[in-house]
Chain A
């Protein structure tokens, strides 16, 4: 991984940034020349787009629909509040790190306001939009089938969240109504690009914060001393693609989990625990216990809780603040009833 953090979402201003003219002044608005190609190009690379604009929501969305570009923007924030606040709301909805955002606005004042509240956000002057596709931070190393579908998957998430908020009744019933189907299987060559992408993109749900390259993953996949597992998920809204990854080292007495990670899009569904249960069952079949590497990164506390509440105990601290967890397999949690699980 390079030092240059990959941008996951570009947040656009509208007036004099996406289009020439000011909506509220009744100007004859025109999209900036070539800007749609820029947006589409980034979209195909799996980079998301959103909006932070001070305008009337209805009027602005109407205009975006007329230009046939409304579908490119996730969780648009079109209102009169500070843009730093809009970006915070978008970040919350997308559940990605603040340091993966780029903000584009023609007003220096707006860029300064965002910068002062969120120093990690890259703020750009709007006149440079045509150069965006050549920026290294907007060129992910791999473009996988999951990255091309990313916007669509987030649109499904948006729908899912709306339905969850509107759902009346126990949470279990809502989860059952999703018809979640999870497949856990050994990785094959075609999975490795996405697997690398997951290690690079995942911060909150990565047990060690470590990233793995394609070649490293390929080595582990073919090694007889290791198992590399992937999880794929589908529900009634569509496919989530590959959302989980585990690298297990097979030792004499232990299954040692070197890497466990989940896409943050499935954070609320307990997939981490399901994958742990699967690994524990596999280890028990061979009469082995389970150990796991963990390292606090400041962002992955959810993973720590996942291990501890699955009965893992800290047994030693290795070098570089690495924690080793152990589970003696006295109690293995059951799979939750609302997920249909296939093991292949």
Chain B
């Protein structure tokens, strides 16, 4: 599974607060559209940390990084790049 599918699967199986027949697009704001309710935001953060071995800092905890599937994916990729470049040549 790629990152996108992992995030989607997690949201669909754990956080889904919407009707079965609605579909969620990669750019939908998952908080505003009611796909994700605030109570499970913490679960989403913990999932991203554990699944991708990322440390989410205070600055990272921003809707800009978590409000849609695409944004979460981009955020994870950025963190992975940061990690790779800081470990290059070691």
Give A residues with C-beta under 8 Å from B. Answer: 169-172, 175, 267-273, 301-302, 304-306, 308-311, 314, 333, 336-337
Q: Are A310 and B38 neighbours in the complex by a CB distance under 8 Å?
A: yes
Q: Are B17 and A273 neighbours in the complex by a CB distance under 8 Å?
A: no
Nearest-Cβ distance from residue A178 to partner chain B, whole angstroms:
12
On chain A, the residues within 8 Å of B62 by CB distance are 308
On chain A, the residues within 8 Å of B42 by CB distance are 301-302, 305-306
Nearest-Cβ distance from residue B34 to partner chain A, whole angstroms:
8
- The count of residues in chain B whose C-beta lies closer than 8 Å to any C-beta of chain A is 21
| 13 intermolecular pairs with C-beta atoms under 8 Å apart | A169-B20, A172-B17, A172-B37, A267-B39, A270-B40, A273-B38, A306-B41, A309-B31, A309-B63, A309-B66, A336-B17, A336-B34, A336-B37
Nearest-Cβ distance from residue B37 to partner chain A, whole angstroms:
5
Nearest-Cβ distance from residue A115 to partner chain B, whole angstroms:
29
Give B residues with C-beta under 8 Å from A. Answer: 14-20, 31, 34, 37-42, 45, 58, 61-63, 66
Q: Are B38 and A333 neighbours in the complex by a CB distance under 8 Å?
A: yes
The 4 lowest CB-CB distance pairs between A and B, nearest first, are A270-B39, A273-B38, A172-B17, A270-B38
The prevalent SS among residues of A at the interface is: helix
Q: Are B17 and A170 neighbours in the complex by a CB distance under 8 Å?
A: yes
Q: Are B63 and A308 neighbours in the complex by a CB distance under 8 Å?
A: yes
Q: Are A270 and B37 neighbours in the complex by a CB distance under 8 Å?
A: yes
Residue in A175, A302, A306 whose beta carbon sits within 8 Å of that of B17 in the complex: A175
Q: Are B61 and A306 neighbours in the complex by a CB distance under 8 Å?
A: no
Q: Are A171 and B15 neighbours in the complex by a CB distance under 8 Å?
A: yes
On chain A, the residues within 8 Å of B18 by CB distance are 170, 172
**CB-nearest residue of chain B relative to A269?**
B39
On chain A, the residues within 8 Å of B41 by CB distance are 305-306, 309
Nearest-Cβ distance from residue B62 to partner chain A, whole angstroms:
6
**CB-nearest residue of chain A relative to B20?**
A170
A268 with B39, Cβ < 8 A, contacts A170-B16, A175-B17, A311-B63 known: yes
Nearest-Cβ distance from residue A259 to partner chain B, whole angstroms:
19
